[in-house]
Structure 1
Amino acid sequence: MNKKEINPNWLDRNHFPFESKTQTIDGNTVHYIDQGSGPTLLLLHGNTSWSFLYRHIIQLLSSNFRCIALDYPGFGLSTANDSYSFKPQEHSAIVEQFADQLGLKDISIMVQDWGGPIGLGFAGRRPELIRAVIIGNTFAWPAQRSKGMSMFSKIFGSSIAKFLIKRYNILVKWLIPAGISRKLSEAELAAYFGPFPTPESRLPTWVLPKEILGSENYLTEVESNLKNLKDKPALMVWGLADGAFGTAELISFLEYFYDNRVCILPKAKHFIQEDSPIEICGAIKKMLL
């Protein structure tokens, strides 16, 4: 296990001006940000990203909330143990243990992309810890019912894709710019590309596309446990310019949560935290304060 640096040379701290902290969980070094005070807001990223994705939201909300954003082992500044699988079920277990180690309660949890199945899996198992859910463009059920997601999994979870991802980092280099409406600066791109400098470090970004179809049993469990959250206040912050998750997924989530409200982000692509942080934060404040 090659431990990652907390202040690597590819990370411009002017763009990420937060104190980095770590917790050791099952032999993994889990990096996280714990900024501000007030009600707890747990921020969970998806594939190819890390807590850097939430930097604007943390800056905008840390005067009202205790903003906590962690990196799953293998992502961002977190380090995985030698036997870690990088599968969503294991990431979700890490989030649960992380919440227990920090003694988190009355949590408002924000999820997006793979953060949805990972975070809602945790929330559904431990609903007594959850105050509210904020759901960005994501899913929380088996992907076999979606032709688009199934095709994405078959293509990017293939052995050919594994070679290209490990050799050339193609998923990160394509998905980050394609999933954001504005043009990122060189420092911002470096922060997204930096966690994956070697072929082995890029493996986690291949595992998750493969597990869109491969984790059917876990995703079935996540969907089943949504009933435990049905009465929690739910905010859907949904980017309409996202090519991965559209209005069909949004409508599905509205059916699972009775106390729901929607914040539509017309121009936001997949990484809504980059494209519409002001609108997202305004909606969160309106619901929780």
Structure 2
Amino acid sequence: MSSKTFAAEVKGVETASVERERGPVTRMHRRELLIATGALAVGTLAGCASGGGPRQTPPGTRETLDAAAFRASRRFVETRFGRIAYVERGTGDAALFLHGFPLNGFQWRGALERLSPYRRCVAPDFMGLGYTEVAEGQSVAAGAQADMLVALLDSLSISTVDLVANDSGGAVAQLFVTRYPERVRTLLLTNCDVENECPPPAVLPVIEMARAGTYVDQWLAPWLADKPLARSEAGIGGMTYTHPTQPTDEAIEYYFAPLVRSPRGKDQVHAYTVALAPNPLAGLEPALKRCTVPTRILWGTGDTIFSQASADYLDRTLPNSRGVRRIPGAKLFFPEEFPDLIAEEARRLWGVG
């Protein structure tokens, strides 16, 4: 394939944006091509952020916030919900980053590095995932997670945030913005649950494994022990990451070690998984239609967990939506793979840089 042909393919990442006044987006049909050349695509996406601002990390260069740096930055806040783990970078107005399942705040390391010159960036670990220690008897359902975030922000003396979310973190974000609209300046949503797809059908077998107490031992433990397996088509990589080199060894270790290596960790992640049903967003649509928070939606078209229709649902339901940008071929956890894209869209939504 010529360099000109590839450039035309990748250009779709920058131009496939759906605004209210525009017609339907034209999708790239050769998804396999994008994924097969994903390593080069990552480098191309690094150039998406326009104008000045944070330095751009060249392809293959180690992030400043590697696992060791992230671990060293981890802090805890004591709340009635438990000891909430979080990482914070930057100063000024705050931005709150909500991760997906079964990940933790490490998912946002690239975005934190790029956006900390503009915001006080806070990435917590949800109750039941990561390094947060849940209080005895505490619910870890999405509604309780939203209330926990209020306690965390109050402890950090943060009154309002720009909210950025992915996957099940997007469900929590929708509950948070409808319950506490005065605390949210802007909302940036990536592939996530919506009311009529919560939980998505692909997650139902996982919930059943968690109910039986087997999810960690059947899926997470083997992935932690065999990282190439984790990146394979049968692992979390093939299911939810765009490029076959993802997630990295250190990411797999950081995500799954606290969930696998103690009975408490197993119990907490099983509780989180079971709490994904029944639908925590049931009946939320009227409240979303009253939400006036400026919202931008980024949606990977290669996602096999959440449907493309869910992006359109959010766009037409949220009255102050700034439209949908579709990312050709990108799977569920693309925010981790393409942090420059997240930074570009966040800065535009925030009106900075």
TM exceeding 0.5: yes
Equivalent of residue 330 in structure 2, options 264, 268, 273:
268
What's the TM-score, normalizing by structure 2?
A: 0.70
* 1:116-127 correspondence to structure 2 within 5 Å: 116-127=170-181
**Most deviating of 191-200 and 43-52:** 191-200
- Specify the alignment match of 1:24 in structure 2: 78
C-alpha contact (below 8 Å) 1:240/1:269 kept by paired residues: yes
Q: Distance in 2 between matches of 1:156 and 1:79?
A: 22
C-alpha contact (below 8 Å) 1:171/1:205 kept by paired residues: no
Matched, 1:287 2:342: no
Q: Distance in 2 between matches of 1:273 and 1:151?
A: 20
Q: Distance in 1 between matches of 2:93 and 2:323?
A: 20
* Equivalenced residues, count: 271
Q: Distance in 1 between matches of 2:309 and 2:137?
A: 37
With over 3 angstroms needed to count, the CA separation of the structure-2 counterparts of 1:201 and 1:135, relative to structure 1, is same
Find the residue that maps to 1:163 and give its secondary structure.
coil
Q: Percent identity?
A: 19
Deviation at 1:95, TM superposition (A): 1.2
- Specify the alignment match of 1:54 in structure 2: 108
- Specify the alignment match of 2:299 in structure 1: 238
What are the superposed Cα offsets for residues 251-276 of structure 1, whole Å, 9 maximum, x if unpaired? 00001223323332213211122222
Matched, 1:165 2:226: no
Find the residue that maps to 1:213 and give its secondary structure.
coil
Q: What is the letter of the counterpart of residue 332 of structure 2?
A: H
**Most deviating of 270-279 and 161-170:** 161-170
- Specify the alignment match of 1:192 in structure 2: 255
C-alpha contact (below 8 Å) 1:265/1:276 kept by paired residues: no
Q: Distance in 2 between matches of 1:212 and 1:74?
A: 12
With over 3 angstroms needed to count, the CA separation of the structure-2 counterparts of 1:129 and 1:114, relative to structure 1, is same
With over 3 angstroms needed to count, the CA separation of the structure-2 counterparts of 1:170 and 1:75, relative to structure 1, is closer
C-alpha contact (below 8 Å) 1:48/1:176 kept by paired residues: no
Equivalent of residue 152 in structure 1, options 189, 203, 206:
203
Q: What is the letter of the counterpart of residue 329 of structure 2?
A: K
C-alpha contact (below 8 Å) 1:156/1:206 kept by paired residues: no
Find the residue that maps to 1:181 and give its secondary structure.
coil
What are the superposed Cα offsets for residues 187-221 of structure 1, whole Å, 9 maximum, x if unpaired? 2221122121235412343444444432x3x4125
With over 3 angstroms needed to count, the CA separation of the structure-2 counterparts of 1:222 and 1:45, relative to structure 1, is farther
Q: What is the letter of the counterpart of residue 139 of structure 1?
A: D
Equivalent of residue 68 in structure 2, options 1, 7, 13:
13
Deviation at 1:100, TM superposition (A): 2.6
**Most deviating of 249-258 and 80-89:** 80-89
Q: Distance in 2 between matches of 1:160 and 1:72?
A: 17
Matched, 1:205 2:269: yes
What are the superposed Cα offsets for residues 96-132 of structure 1, whole Å, 9 maximum, x if unpaired? 2222332323311011111112122111111111111
Q: Distance in 1 between matches of 2:155 and 2:266?
A: 28
C-alpha contact (below 8 Å) 1:156/1:162 kept by paired residues: no
- Specify the alignment match of 2:156 in structure 1: 102
C-alpha contact (below 8 Å) 2:242/2:334 kept by paired residues: no
With over 3 angstroms needed to count, the CA separation of the structure-2 counterparts of 1:51 and 1:89, relative to structure 1, is same
What are the superposed Cα offsets for residues 225-245 of structure 1, whole Å, 9 maximum, x if unpaired? 21342x221111111111111
Deviation at 1:27, TM superposition (A): 5.0
Q: Distance in 2 between matches of 1:261 and 1:253?
A: 9
Find the residue that maps to 1:24 and give its secondary structure.
strand
C-alpha contact (below 8 Å) 2:141/2:276 kept by paired residues: no
In the TM superposition, structure 1's runs of 4+ consecutive aligned residues that sit over 3 Å from their partners are 159-163, 168-174, 203-213, 221-224
Find the residue that maps to 1:279 and give its secondary structure.
helix
C-alpha contact (below 8 Å) 1:24/1:30 kept by paired residues: yes
* Structure number, greater radius of gyration: 2
What are the superposed Cα offsets for residues 38-70 of structure 1, whole Å, 9 maximum, x if unpaired? 332110112101000000000011111111111
